[in-house]
Amino acid sequence: MIVLGISGFYHDSAAALVQDGVVIAAAQEERFTRVKHDAGFPAHAVEYCLAEAGVTLDQVDWVAFYDKPLLTFNRLLETYLAFAPKGLTSFVKAIPVWVKEKLLQKDMLHKGLEGLGKGAVAPEKILFGFHHHSHAASAFYPSPYESAAVLVMDGVGEWATTTIGHGRGAALDLISEIRFPHSLGLLYSAFTYYLGFKVNEGEYKIMGLAPYGEPKYVDLIRKHLIDIKDDGSFRLDMRYFDYCTGLTMTNAAFAELFGGPARKSGEPLTQKHMDLARSLQEVTEEAVLRLARTAHALTGEKNLCLAGGVALNCVANGRLLREGPFDNIWIQPAAGDAGAALGVALAVSHEMAGIPRKVNPGDAMKGSLLGPEFPREQILEMIAARGATAVELSDDELFPTVAAAIAEEKVIGWFQGRMEFGPRALGNRSIIGDARSPRMQSVLNLKVKYRESFRPFAPIVLKDDVGQFFELEGESPYMLIVAPVREDRRVAPGPEEASLFGIEKLKLVRSDIPAVTHVDHSARIQTVDSGRNPRLARLLESFKAITGYGVLVNTSFNVRDEPIVCTPDDAWRCFMGTEMDMLVLGNFVLRKAEQ
């Protein structure tokens, strides 16, 4: 049984292929087109999935789309009717697109698939899932649990914005939901907009900005914007928001509440902006914790699975893990809409086709390394085409050589094996540096990534060594848990800290791994083991042999406003366009000074 899952036409289009309940391949369209958050039909991603499985469309049993466009259109019409005559401008812009394109998505999908020239698929084989069910399936079915509570939190699906489900074996039931316009994801996006970042892209920047601030606006947010009940259910006061009918997320009432207009992109960040970010983060964490307690009460489960864009809030996830009520948490690494392509394919496989579910004691995501791999011959072709200078090393030479360069504070572009699925680089399309270096954080932000200087970097750490550096029990293989750096590794603040403002605080050395220690002594951790990623584990072991530290900096192999690299040529262009020192493509080493 072969099922092809597709998400698209809103943001983060993707495709995934599942065969007999086993995840074979998955990729986002942006990695191929180089258009960040590409929302078009995922032609390249579909072609890749078919090629990886060695099948044509004729051999695909079902094609499944991750939501139901007609229900979304129904929500759109009902919302405009409820707020009429307000929102006429937005209505005039939105409705023609729906009438011409989105209402005919089955036809669009069929034409898109037929246009690939990879075989034919009958229209009756194209199915549509529910948005939140697709998310829930992406979280539960690959998880290591026979049964679990499932919590989905995002902006909005068709109508649902927050859903609690219960997975048992191959069955997955959704049992409770909160509906649009009341949405934690849209609340977070509203502040993302107000603070001058791009919606559906900059939300994680708010999470990174929050530790610089104080929670001064929590009471104001709770009093005017969101009413959170003890069970986690909530309502937003829509008088302050414009996303139902307008062309922006917030309105004049929101600006008046917080004493000024929205920050424009590129304007300086002030302490007020940092305080707003911190306040929003605390309110979000409170809601997530209450929702989790309700999910626990409704299901009686000890395990929790998370998906939806809000599940990428690693700080909230860390609190969930530490404060309960669940013993175990598993988060879908592609928690956003891209992952829903995989979820709907798994749902069709298990729930409709009746394929038995096999629970993997780790998980069934294969380290989320589900994208394309490029063999030695293709790497050699790129090197020759670019006229690059490279040396090929054996594994026994490669890992000590790269580890030694990292120990000398060199910045490494690390390109290995299959590309990651989801928003995080997990060690196959990564930029790597020395976590012990006090200057590494600023070097990576300003000379390599070309991004905001306040942004923290994540550590990769050997799974068996995580407790030596961080207050974390267990593993975090997908960089989705934030935990504190151990007290005995922290550096006591000096008298100069009191005089520092906001982002200046990041310049202080706060631990013996300063490049991955945020201003609140937290870190977004990825644990590494030889089962999920043997080459990355070996690099960490080689670095540990030299330095005694089994921990490094890991950030995605890209620059600001570009997707993570996919091909060797993508990696070459990023390497040459930044101040990286070394590029490692498989076993080929390219040094910047030699190019």
**Percent of the chain clearing pLDDT 90 (strictly above):** 84
Q: Is the pLDDT of residue 85 over 80?
A: no
Segment 372-377 mean pLDDT: 98
| DSSP-based three-state secondary structure for 45 | helix
CA distance 457 to 514: 10
Provide the pLDDT for residue 87. 65
Whether domain 376-594 has CATH 1.10.3720.10: the reply is no
Return the H-helix or E-strand segment holding 282: helix 271-299
DSSP codes joined into one string, 352-368: IS-PPP---SS-SSGGG
Banded model confidence at residue 100, pLDDT cuts 50, 70, 90: low
Banded model confidence at residue 98, pLDDT cuts 50, 70, 90: low
Provide the pLDDT for residue 99. 64
Evaluate whether 2-142+332-362 and 184-329 have a shared fold.
yes
152-207 pLDDT, tens digit per residue, is 999 999 999 999 999 999 999 999 999 999 999 999 999 999 999 999 888 999 99
Provide the pLDDT for residue 285. 98
Exposed, middle or buried, 300 (CB in 10 Å: 0-12/13-18/19+)?
Answer: exposed
The tokens describing 210, both together, are 């929050």
The tokens describing 549, both together, are 């530290």
| DSSP-based three-state secondary structure for 68 | coil
Provide the pLDDT for residue 198. 92
CA distance 228 to 213: 23
Q: What architecture does CATH give domain 2-142+332-362?
A: 2-Layer Sandwich (3.30)
The CATH fold of domain 184-329: Nucleotidyltransferase; domain 5 (3.30.420)
- Judged by average pLDDT, the poorest of 251-265, 457-471, 485-499 is 485-499
- Contact assessment for residue 353 and residue 60, using Cβ atoms and an 8 Å cutoff: no
Banded model confidence at residue 504, pLDDT cuts 50, 70, 90: confident
Sequence-distant (6+) residues with CB within 8 A of 495 are none
Segment 109-129 mean pLDDT: 95
**Percent of the chain clearing pLDDT 70 (strictly above):** 96
- Judged by average pLDDT, the poorest of 102-111, 267-276, 304-313, 384-393 is 102-111
**Could you tell me the pTM of the whole model?**
0.94
Provide the pLDDT for residue 229. 97
Strands across the sheet containing 126-128 = 22-28, 14-19, 2-7, 62-65, 126-128
- Contact assessment for residue 462 and residue 541, using Cβ atoms and an 8 Å cutoff: yes
Q: Is the pLDDT of residue 101 over 70?
A: no
Sequence-distant (6+) residues with CB within 8 A of 492 are none
CA distance 517 to 523: 6
Chain centroid offset of residue 108 CA: 27
SS (H, E, C) 161-225: EEEEEEEECCEEEEEEEEECCCCHHHHHHHHHHHCCCCCCCCHHHHHHHHHHCCCCCHHHHHHHC
Provide the pLDDT for residue 78. 80
Pairing of β 14-19 and β 2-7 = antiparallel
Provide the pLDDT for residue 246. 77
Banded model confidence at residue 103, pLDDT cuts 50, 70, 90: low
196-211 pLDDT, tens digit per residue, is 999 988 899 999 999 9
Banded model confidence at residue 436, pLDDT cuts 50, 70, 90: very high
Provide the pLDDT for residue 73. 77
Q: Is the pLDDT of residue 525 over 70?
A: yes
Provide the pLDDT for residue 459. 98
Segment 298-309 mean pLDDT: 98
- Contact assessment for residue 75 and residue 158, using Cβ atoms and an 8 Å cutoff: yes
The tokens describing 166, both together, are 């219960």
Q: Which segments of 237-382 are extended strands (E)?
A: 303-307, 328-331
- Contact assessment for residue 527 and residue 490, using Cβ atoms and an 8 Å cutoff: no
Q: Is the pLDDT of residue 500 over 80?
A: no
- Contact assessment for residue 13 and residue 340, using Cβ atoms and an 8 Å cutoff: no
Banded model confidence at residue 502, pLDDT cuts 50, 70, 90: low
Sequence-distant (6+) residues with CB within 8 A of 81 are none
- Contact assessment for residue 593 and residue 575, using Cβ atoms and an 8 Å cutoff: no
CA distance 440 to 450: 13
Provide the pLDDT for residue 258. 97
Q: List the chain domain ranges.
A: 2-142+332-362, 184-329, 376-594
| DSSP-based three-state secondary structure for 534 | helix
Residue 282's CB is within 10 A of a number of other CB atoms, namely 20
Indicate the average pLDDT of the chain: 94
Q: How far is CA 16 from each of CA 63, 75, 164, 232, rounded to the nearest angstrom?
A: 10, 27, 24, 33
Provide the pLDDT for residue 93. 73
